[in-house]
Amino acid sequence: MKQLSFLILLLILTSCKNEKTVENVPPFENISEQSELKYATGFSILDHGSHKELTISKPWPNAQKDLKYLLAPSQQLAKMTFPRDAYDVVLVTPLEKLVVTSTTHIPALELLGLENKLVGFPETNYISSEKTRSLIEYGAIKDIGKNESINTEILLSLQPDVVIGFGVEGINKTFETVKKAGIPVIYNGDWVESSPLAKAEWLKFFGVLFDKEKEADSIFNTIETNYNEAKTLASKVKTSPSVLSGAMHKDVWYLPNGTSPEGQLMADANLNYLWKDSSGNGSLALSFESVLDKAKDADLWISPSYYSSYERLESANALYSNFKAFKQKNIYTFSNQTGATGGVLYYELGFARPDLVLKDLIKIGHPELLKDYETTFFKPLND
C-alpha cells in the first residue's frame, strides 16, 4: 500500500509539472496564417491573430540557425506568458522608433511612408535619398558612428525600439554589444537573396514591423507587375547585344556569375551576357587575359566597377582601351548617380526597385523599346 500511495503521489506531481509547462507556452489562437511570399526565401511571417512570428532563416550565407522574433501589440503582449528563450527578440508593434544600418533599408521605409520613424543611421553621408537627407539635415536622424563601431552612447540616447542590423559571416559583434546595452536587434538578410524580386520582397519584412502588411503587399505587387511587363517587352526582341561587366581589382577581374541577381537582370533585359552560363556563389574571379579573350568585341560594357570616366578607367589600366566597348564609348555605370553627400543611388534604391534597374538595362541594350524613358541608375561613362 505504501508503494501504491507513493506511485499515485508521483503521478500527481508529474501531472502538475506538465500542466505548468503547457501554461508557459504562448496562447496561440486557432488563427494561424502564413503570409504569402512569392520570391523571398530568407524570412517568413506567421500570423496567430493575437501576435505574429517573424522568422529569419537566412540572415547571412550558410546560417545554421533560424532567428525567431515575436511581434505583438502591447495589450496582447501583457496577457502572454512564454519561455523567454523561445524567441531571440520580443517586440511591441507597431514600432515607433528604429535604427537601420544599411542604405538598402531606406527605400522600404520611404515606400511605406515611415521615414519619420527612423532616428539613427551609421555614417549618414552614405544615404542618397533627398527625402531622408532632409530629415538628417533637420536633425531628426542622428549619425551613430560606423557599422563596425556603433556609438552606443548616442544610440542609447535615441532609445529606439529596435536596431535593424545585418551579419556577413555570422553574428555581428557590434550588434551583440548593442544588445547588451538593452536595445533589441533584428537581423535583415535581404542581400542574401538570389533574385532581384526576392530582394525587393523584403519590403514585407518592414511591413510586418509597422502593421503595414497590406500596404507592403500592394507596393510589391506593383513593382513585380512593372518588372514582368518590362521583361515581356524585352523578350520580343530577336537580337541581343553582347555584354561585358566588372573590372580589375589588383590582379583579378571580378564580374557577376550568370545566376546572380545581376546576371538575371541582364538575362531578363534580353542582353547576351557573355558569362550567362556560369553559376555559383559570389562573383567570378578571372584573369585579365581570359576576359579580354572572351569579351574584346563585346558590344556593351556595363558596370565597370567604381570607375566614373574613361580617363580614370584608362589611367587605372591602359589595357582597358583594347575593348571594343571602350573604343566605341559604349560603357555604362551607376557610379555617377549620387546623393548630395556622395552616397551611390544604386546601392540604396536598386534592391527595392529592380523594375527600374531592368528598364535601365533594356534602355541601354534596346533603346527602341523605351524611346521616352530616362534611366534612373545607369548612365554613359563620363569622358
Q: Based on the domain organization, do 214 and 261 belong to the same domain?
A: no
Q: Is residue 232 part of a domain?
A: no
Residue numbers of the domain that contains 353? 237-380
Q: Which of 174, 191, 222 is the last residue of a domain?
A: 222
Q: Based on the domain organization, do 132 and 263 belong to the same domain?
A: no
- Length of the chain in terms of residues written: 383
Q: And the C-alpha cell for 289?
A: 587575359
Q: Based on the domain organization, do 311 and 213 belong to the same domain?
A: no
Judging by beta carbons within 10 Å of its beta carbon (0-12, 13-18, 19+), is residue 91 exposed, middle or buried?
buried
CA-based angle 60:65:70, to the nearest 5?
95
Q: Is residue 63 part of a domain?
A: yes
Q: CB under 8 Å to 214, separation ≥6 — which residues?
A: 207
Domain at 333, CATH number: 3.40.50.1980
Q: Is residue 346 part of a domain?
A: yes
Q: Is residue 9 part of a domain?
A: no
Q: How many domains does the chain have?
A: 2
Q: Based on the domain organization, do 171 and 259 belong to the same domain?
A: no
Q: Based on the domain organization, do 211 and 241 belong to the same domain?
A: no
Q: Is residue 6 part of a domain?
A: no
Reading phi first (left if > 0) and then psi (alpha if -120 to 50, else beta), residue 311 is in alpha
Q: Based on the domain organization, do 109 and 201 belong to the same domain?
A: yes
Q: Is residue 109 part of a domain?
A: yes
Q: Based on the domain organization, do 200 and 295 belong to the same domain?
A: no
Q: Based on the domain organization, do 214 and 250 belong to the same domain?
A: no
What pLDDT score does 31 carry?
58
List average pLDDT for each run of 10 residues in the chain, which is 383 residues long.
40 38 44 83 93 94 92 89 84 96 97 98 96 97 92 93 89 84 93 96 98 97 98 96 96 95 97 94 92 98 95 95 97 96 96 98 98 96 94
Shortest CA distance to 93 belongs to which of 216, 212, 210? 210
Shortest CA distance to 146 belongs to which of 177, 188, 180? 177
Q: Which of 189, 222, 255 is the last residue of a domain?
A: 222
